[in-house]
Structure 1
Amino acid sequence: MTALSDIDRSPDVIARTWHGWAPHATAGDYERHYETAVSEHLRDVPGFCGARLLRRTDGADVEFTSIVYFADMASVHAFAGDDPSRAVVEPAARRALTRWDERVDHHEVAVMLD
């Protein structure tokens, strides 16, 4: 894994953002899945630079926002395959979540503050 702080501040660094929602009862299941299976998968991707999972209460649900950092779009393709805008939602995540974005957004990182 390449640390964000180790990357040249070039505009090639990509932030991949995605949202999913879970009922409070299974929100912890999704967090554990992210910390274990998702983390393990991402660490094997060349150009993976780090990830954050954000959460907030959204009525009866918990909304998760995943932000994954990659060195460049080639690294995103290594993770997501031929359609980099398609969300990668594994079966364990589908069991914990009630809904999720089918598509993700990619942004060039303009400023990183350590």
Structure 2
Amino acid sequence: MIARMWRGWTSTAAADDYRHHYETDVAEHLQHVPGFCGARLLRHNAGDEVMFTSITYFTSVDDIRAFAGEDHERAVVAEAARRALTRWDERVSHHEVAVDLPWPVAPIDRLAPS
């Protein structure tokens, strides 16, 4: 599995707009991309600015190329995202997922023996 990582920044006032765009438009689009395995959007508040880190997961680099084009390290930033963000990475990074730990069914403290 390949993780595709990208960052975008926005004002605190527009951060919820970008989050909504990601949860709706981006999520809807990605559901139809062959090889898409999931996504996470991380949020980091830094004073009057918010940094979002998007991590999307694909089965292969070929699937990423089908999504992003031949220059698969070029960021794909929709017009709605461009309106919400103040700046963004023009290039993305790709990482082979070396370990993928499943989420526990119950919180860890409940799994420990009493």
Distance in 1 of aligned mates of 2:7 and 2:46: 12
Q: Based on CA coordinates, which of the two structures has the bigger radius of gyration? A: 2
Task: Report the residue type matching 1:80 in the other structure.
Answer: A
Gaps of 5+ in 2: 103-114
Is 1:87 the counterpart of 2:75 in the alignment?
Answer: yes
Deviation at 1:78, TM superposition (A): 1.1
Q: Secondary structure at the match of 1:21?
A: strand
Deviation at 1:14, TM superposition (A): 0.3
Deviation at 1:59, TM superposition (A): 2.7
Partner of 2:27: 39
Partner of 1:26: 14
Distance in 2 of aligned mates of 1:21 and 1:58: 10
Identity in percent: 65
| Map 1:31-110 → 2, pairs under 5 A | 31-110=19-98
Runs of 4+ in 1 over 4 A off after TM superposition: none
Q: 1:6-25: per-residue Cα shift (whole Å, max 9, x none)?
A: xxxxxxx1000000001001
Gaps of 5+ in 1: 1-12
Distance in 1 of aligned mates of 2:73 and 2:85: 20
With normalisation by structure 2, the TM-score equals 0.88
Task: Report the residue type matching 2:87 in the other structure.
Answer: R
How many residues align? The count is: 102
Task: Report the residue type matching 1:48 in the other structure.
Answer: F
Task: Report the residue type matching 1:85 in the other structure.
Answer: E
